[in-house]
């Protein structure tokens, strides 16, 4: 039934793979939306065919980027709601479930924002890395509470998601100092908090987020600047409860070194196999370098996040399309 996957699912998958749609929460939202589109457009005539189509769509979406667990968590949540005896029943249930997921995601982010805002005081300076909608929700709620906030925004090479953060913060009226990543340690002296998001959080409280987060957290600890991770519970990685590790995505060399730059660096021999570029998209910050994980269920010291994971997931494991 693979061929019955509608073009909208393929284009959502391509947008995620190429990072036109990016950031863990936004990816989850887009994936749920794509499953809804598949359910609406399906021409399946039997319940079995409908289920197979939805599972094939989920697999297409899943195979885009490996690190943000919000993607399989979203797919699993929607597919679990695919209940009914007939195609119309299955269709209605899947659409309702996808819509509920998207509603809950938005609600969780705003609840998380209010909780995170309580950690911020009037006049605080916050250092950010990458672009996280969960992190920005905390700043937005603090502003709504009438607190003045300033931001030091790390550029975030190679994709410069810091520019998205800077633009969003300027829209909110926040004064922004944009710095290159290498300047972070120097500017930590001016920061009251480091505030980042997460792509996945492991059962031991390790935080998987944009490459450079772990170095920033180590430097912040050395400088005595608290590190706050804003992450909805959709970022909690169920498989890590049974010893699995989180796969770190390696992205294309061209993001780091353009063809023209490669030619320059190799002295006109762009095929030089001994010039390798390594481009990991994420890294792992150990729990000892994180002060608080802020979720919509409250804030947690990283070491106790596993209690929340057990409560939310029970023994959930396996691929999203497995019944």
Residue ranges in contact with ligand RUB by CB under 6 A: 22-26, 68, 130, 132-135, 161, 197-199, 209-210, 281
Element (H, E) at 295: strand 292-295
- Cα dihedral 287, 289, 291, 297 sign: negative
Nearer to ligand RUB, 37 or 67 (CB): 67
The CB-of-317 to ligand RUB minimum distance in angstroms stands at 22
The CB-of-268 to ligand RUB minimum distance in angstroms stands at 32
Nearer to ligand RUB, 60 or 213 (CB): 213
* Angle, helices 87-117/47-62, rounded to nearest 10 degrees: 30
Q: Is residue 124 annotated as a catalytic residue, yes or no?
A: no
Nearer to ligand RUB, 60 or 285 (CB): 285
What is the rounded distance in angstroms from the CA atom of residue 302 to the CA atom of residue 111? 19
Query: Active site residue: 29, 130, 239, 291, which one?
Result: 130
The CB-of-90 to ligand RUB minimum distance in angstroms stands at 30
* Nearest residue to ligand RUB, by Cβ distance, number only: 197
Query: Active site residue: 29, 124, 134, 199, which one?
Result: 199
Q: Is residue 199 annotated as a catalytic residue, yes or no?
A: yes
The CB-of-273 to ligand RUB minimum distance in angstroms stands at 27
Note if the bond before 158 is cis, omega within 30 degrees: yes
The string over 148-183, giving b where at least 16 C-beta atoms fall within 10 Å of a residue's C-beta and e elsewhere, is ebbbbbbbbebbebbebbbebbeeeebebebbebee
Nearer to ligand RUB, 21 or 37 (CB): 21
3-state secondary structure at position 109: helix
What is the rounded distance in angstroms from the CA atom of residue 268 to the CA atom of residue 272? 9
Catalytic positions = 130, 199
């Amino acid at each position: 039934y693979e061929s019955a996957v509608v073009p909208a699912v393929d284009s959502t998958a391509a947008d995620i793979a190429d990072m036109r749609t990016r950031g863990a929460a936004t990816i989850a939202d887009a994936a749920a939306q794509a499953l809804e589109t598949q359910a609406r457009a399906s021409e399946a005539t039997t319940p079995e065919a409908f289920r197979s189509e939805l599972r094939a769509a989920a697999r297409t979406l899943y195979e885009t980027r490996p690190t943000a667990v919000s993607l399989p968590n979203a797919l699993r949540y929607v597919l679990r709601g695919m209940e009914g005896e007939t195609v119309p029943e299955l269709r209605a249930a899947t659409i309702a479930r996808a819509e509920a997921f998207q509603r809950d995601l938005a609600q969780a982010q705003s609840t998380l924002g209010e909780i995170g805002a309580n950690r911020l005081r009037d006049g605080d300076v916050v250092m950010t890395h990458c672009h996280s909608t969960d992190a920005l929700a905390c700043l937005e709620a603090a502003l709504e509470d009438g607190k003045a906030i300033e931001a030091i925004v790390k550029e975030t090479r190679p994709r410069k998601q810091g520019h998205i953060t800077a633009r969003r913060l300027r829209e909110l009226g926040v004064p922004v100092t944009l710095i290159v990543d290498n300047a972070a340690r120097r500017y930590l002296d001016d920061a009251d908090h480091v505030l980042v998001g997460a792509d996945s959080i492991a059962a031991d409280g390790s935080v998987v987020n944009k490459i450079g987060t772990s170095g920033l957290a180590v430097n912040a600890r050395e400088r005595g600047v608290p590190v706050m991770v804003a992450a909805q519970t959709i970022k909690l990685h169920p498989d890590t409860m049974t010893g699995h590790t989180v796969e770190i995505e390696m992205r294309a060399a061209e993001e780091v070194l353009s063809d023209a730059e490669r030619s320059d660096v190799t002295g006109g021999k762009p095929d030089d196999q001994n010039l390798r570029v390594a481009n990991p998209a994420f890294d792992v910050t150990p729990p000892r370098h994180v002060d608080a994980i802020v979720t919509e269920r409250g804030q947690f010291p990283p070491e106790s996040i596993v209690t929340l994971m057990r409560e939310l997931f029970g023994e959930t494991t396996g691929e999203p399309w497995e019944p």
